Amino acid sequence: MDILIIKLLIKMKKITIFFTGLALMWMAAACSLDERILDTPGPVQVTSDQELLPLINGLYSRFNDANAFKFRGWLMLTLCADDFYSVAANEFQPFANRTYGGPNVSHFYNSLYLAVGAANQLIGILDKVGDKLTPELVSRAYGEAYFVRAFSYYYLVRLYGGVPLRISPVNADSDMYLPRASIHEVYEQIFADFREASLRLPQASELPVSELGRATKGAAQAIVAQAYLTYGNQRSLRGMDPTQQYEEAVLFADSVIHSGQYQLIPNYADIFDINKEVDAYKEVIFGIRFQADPMAILLGSAGSEYAFRFGNSNTHFVSGNANNGQGDGSVRPMHWMADYYLNHNDYVHPTQGIRDYRHEVTFVTRGYNSTNDRYVVPYPFLPTTQENPIVFPLLAKYQDPNGRDHRNNGNDFFVIRFSEMYFILVEALNELHGGPTYNYKGQQLFWWFNRVRARAQLADGTSRNRPFLINNSNSPGMTQDEFRMRIFHERGLELLGEGQRWFDLVRMRHPSDPTKTMYEYQLVEELTKSTYPKDAPTYTRSSNSYSNSFYVYEPSLNVSVPKHLLFPIPIEEMVRNPNFGEQNPRW
């Protein structure tokens, strides 16, 4: 049949030639089928130093997302411990009431893995094109990729336990379905990556302000010190020898302390002053940066929402909320925690009264309500007759009256501060050497511990004598277990609302049972006692007093161990990864 057509075509002479020519012309117009991508960058385009920078920035870009430290991940870190609660509905309630499940905890998991992916991919690109770029820049880029990968896995392993360990760039031939690794394997990778990072990253003093938020040598060393301590704790809880890990923790903490790169900012209040944020980075070793974002709003913005969440509806000018800059009070410190600053059972001391002036910086002492032009005074402070009480405490560390909208403020999330280096050092040495009188570099552990307290005494800029410095004379015979408790509480007081408490609870040892965690002690044993009432205090104007103190939000005690020592593996991982393995215990 085709032959027939061709024969006919041949007969058609001129007109045929014309049309065939026309057809061929159109065919020629049909250009190649090679795919051209015009609007999307690809790794092939990384050919110069300048083109590497967006990739490096990309490493950090997942952390300020709403799924991570901006909101959903932050909720996990903040509401699941024993020091904050929420009576708000929506996404707060499941955490505050311990009714969360796989769907609630998936966002942070996804974000952290996306950061791991960015790090792996950058390493892959550097392996390929690194020799064409400036060596110093390449070295630092490797360092940042290792840092971000280690940082992400460090959060993953603490929140979710052993997770699949992906440490090479993914391509079409990769095994997409890795089984979960043990926590030991994950920690080994974390240590290796942080060590590699610390060899390549610049010192904090070499970091220009325009690069604030990027990793430094100190950041790698500080976090790895904490990671060693954490892993040591985990080994200890499992009956394994933690000595080597504690020693590494001491080594890295000491290295940061003596690096000369950081200091304890003299005035504790300045750390949290939004207008002095850049200066705060003299103490803040690593932070997740947020800025009021003019280009996006709410959840999608690059601003943080801590100011709004910790603020309250009748304290105005604390956030960028269009409505008088008020907060929504959805995340509140527990009353018992606020009271603990005032009345904690630190050591037997004859005098009564305020135990720790850090509370003046940590909690809102007085707020302004512009609607009725009145000042409000939150618990546990007492209002004057001109002022209205707020019957619960409010955290004061995050405030930004210049934010763009309520979920779009400038407050950073401080991942690790210099003061914590002393805690890590002291805690690891206490575990290794059995008590606060152990002498490290010519000083007892008491002395190292008191570095942070001495600064706390400057909470309002002038030196006062609270909190007391503890020593062998006012705390004679303090045991290792007692000193651990003291460190635990001191961390709580110094770092309230900075995302450390839940980790402390699940890693540190129960004061009397080496197989249990501080989580069980605090949430199952301590806070359930009758000394912690379950009815919120009420205020009486006539006596200007609260009806009770040390109130604990009861739904937060809805705990189950070991279930709540880890978050569940999110449903996306469980249903899409047939090789993953077992879900976490009891989930």
- Give the interface size with other proteins as a residue count (CB under 8 A): 110
- Nearest Cα neighbor of 98 from 565, 583, 413, 513 is 565
Among 5, 10, 442, 465, binds other proteins (CB under 8 A): 5
CB atoms within 10 A of CB 510: 20
Q: Is 186 in the site for other proteins (CB under 8 A)?
A: no
Range 474-478, long-range pairs (CB < 8 A, 24+ positions): 474/347, 474/349, 475/347, 475/436, 475/446, 478/347, 478/435, 478/436, 478/437
CB-count exposure of residue 58 (10 Å: 0-12, 13-18, 19+): middle
Joined tokens for residue 439: 């002498």
Nearer CB in complex with other proteins: 277/431? 277
CB-count exposure of residue 424 (10 Å: 0-12, 13-18, 19+): buried
Q: Name which of residues 547 to 576 contact other proteins (CB under 8 A).
A: 570-576
Among 48, 128, 132, 176, binds other proteins (CB under 8 A): 176
- Nearest Cα neighbor of 487 from 420, 534, 533, 438 is 420
Helix (H, G, I), strand (E, B) or coil at 214: strand
In whole angstroms, how close is the CB of 551 to other proteins at the nearest point? Answer: 17
Q: Is 65 in the site for other proteins (CB under 8 A)?
A: yes
Among 3, 10, 30, 348, binds other proteins (CB under 8 A): 30
Cis-peptide into 562, omega within 30 deg: yes
In whole angstroms, how close is the CB of 318 to other proteins at the nearest point? Answer: 17
Joined tokens for residue 195: 């060590």
Q: Name which of residues 95 to 124 contact other proteins (CB under 8 A).
A: 99, 101-104, 106-107, 109-110, 113-114, 116-118, 120-121
Joined tokens for residue 241: 């020898």
Q: Is 245 in the site for other proteins (CB under 8 A)?
A: no
Q: Name which of residues 515 to 534 contact other proteins (CB under 8 A).
A: none
Among 3, 10, 172, 348, binds other proteins (CB under 8 A): 172
CB-count exposure of residue 395 (10 Å: 0-12, 13-18, 19+): buried
Please identify, among the stretches 61-69, 259-267, 338-346, 487-495, the one whose residues bind other proteins according to the rule CB under 8 A: 61-69
Angle at which helices 106-129 and 72-79 cross, to 10°: 120
What is the residue type of 415?
Answer: V
In whole angstroms, how close is the CB of 122 to other proteins at the nearest point? Answer: 9
Among 3, 26, 352, 373, binds other proteins (CB under 8 A): 26
Q: Is 17 in the site for other proteins (CB under 8 A)?
A: no
Please identify, among the stretches 173-181, 225-233, 332-340, 438-446, the one whose residues bind other proteins according to the rule CB under 8 A: 173-181
In whole angstroms, how close is the CB of 333 to other proteins at the nearest point? Answer: 22
Q: How far apart are CA 231 and CA 222, in angstroms?
A: 14
Q: Is 7 in the site for other proteins (CB under 8 A)?
A: no
Q: Is 328 in the site for other proteins (CB under 8 A)?
A: no
Please identify, among the stretches 60-68, 309-317, 443-451, 545-553, the one whose residues bind other proteins according to the rule CB under 8 A: 60-68
Among 129, 137, 178, 524, binds other proteins (CB under 8 A): 178
In whole angstroms, how close is the CB of 385 to other proteins at the nearest point? Answer: 28
For tokens 């400038």, the residue is 410
Q: Name which of residues 121 to 140 contact other proteins (CB under 8 A).
A: 121
Among 3, 10, 89, 348, binds other proteins (CB under 8 A): 89
Between the CA atoms of 477, 479, 485 and 488, what dihedral angle is there, to the nearest 10 degrees? 100
Joined tokens for residue 240: 């394994």
Q: Is 164 in the site for other proteins (CB under 8 A)?
A: yes
Q: How far apart are CA 436 and CA 201, in angstroms?
A: 34
Q: Is 371 in the site for other proteins (CB under 8 A)?
A: no
Nearer CB in complex with other proteins: 186/253? 186
Q: Name which of residues 397 to 416 contact other proteins (CB under 8 A).
A: 404-407
In whole angstroms, how close is the CB of 91 to other proteins at the nearest point? Answer: 6
Among 3, 10, 27, 348, binds other proteins (CB under 8 A): 27
Nearer CB in complex with other proteins: 27/348? 27
DSSP secondary structure letter of residue 213: T
Q: How far apart are CA 345 and CA 205, in angstroms?
A: 40
Among 3, 10, 33, 348, binds other proteins (CB under 8 A): 33
Q: Is 420 in the site for other proteins (CB under 8 A)?
A: no
Q: How far apart are CA 303 and CA 293, in angstroms?
A: 6
Q: Is 57 in the site for other proteins (CB under 8 A)?
A: yes
Q: Is 10 in the site for other proteins (CB under 8 A)?
A: no
